[in-house]
Amino acid sequence: MTSTLATTATSRPLRLPASLPSPPPVARPGGGRRRGAVLRCASVSEIAPAVSAAYGALLVGGGAFAYARSGSKGSVLGGASGSALMGLTYYLMQFSETKALGDAVGFGSAFLFASVFGIRLYNTRKLVPSGLLLALSLGALGVFYAAYLQDKV
């Protein structure tokens, strides 16, 4: 099936094909095989325990650094409580019966810390450390949310 289109310069109609042919395949440098995604949805549930351990270590390290730098007892208490919550999250994620509960605890604690760091960023307008920790908290929040959705299905 072709369609016609009248041109203004000539009186001959221009005939266009109904569908264009597909372009030839592009040669890939790795032997023609497609590479898979770096992180697939199936692996989000598998990396969630590692994310909770890393996030907990960053929280306790940040609290200790803030205490050493400025003597802030609130920072060391917040870092220790965040690390304890992430430790609980990691422990609960090790068993299939409590994996969804571990995801929920991780999500809740990451949401709590994202809220705290968001409020601190709004009040101080300093990107470091509040903005950095807000970004880390939102990343952990996304991982725990995706893992929870995957474990519930």
Per domain, the residue ranges of the chain are 44-152
Residue 46: how many CA atoms within 13 Å on its side-chain side?
5
Residue 4: how many CA atoms within 13 Å on its side-chain side?
4
Which one has a higher pLDDT value, 57 or 25?
Answer: 57
Q: What is the pLDDT of residue 64?
A: 93
Locate 71 and state its tokens: 């003597």
Q: What is the phi-psi region of residue 136: left when phi exceeds 0, alpha when psi lies from -120 to 50, beta otherwise?
A: alpha
Q: What is the pLDDT of residue 44?
A: 85
Distance CA 76, CA 67 (A): 6
Overall pTM surpassing 0.85 (yes/no): no
Number of Cβ within 10 Å of residue 60's Cβ equals: 20
Q: What is the mean pLDDT of residues 45-73?
A: 93
- CA-nearest of 103, 108, 4, 87 to 45 is 103
Unique residue bearing structure tokens 């299939």 = 96
Distance CA 91, CA 123 (A): 35
Unique residue bearing structure tokens 């016609």 = 4
The SS3 of residue 59 is: helix
Confidence class for position 32, pLDDT limits 50, 70, 90: low
* Mean pLDDT rounded to a whole number for the chain: 84
Confidence class for position 85, pLDDT limits 50, 70, 90: very high
- CA-nearest of 53, 51, 49 to 93 is 49
Q: What is the pLDDT of residue 8?
A: 56
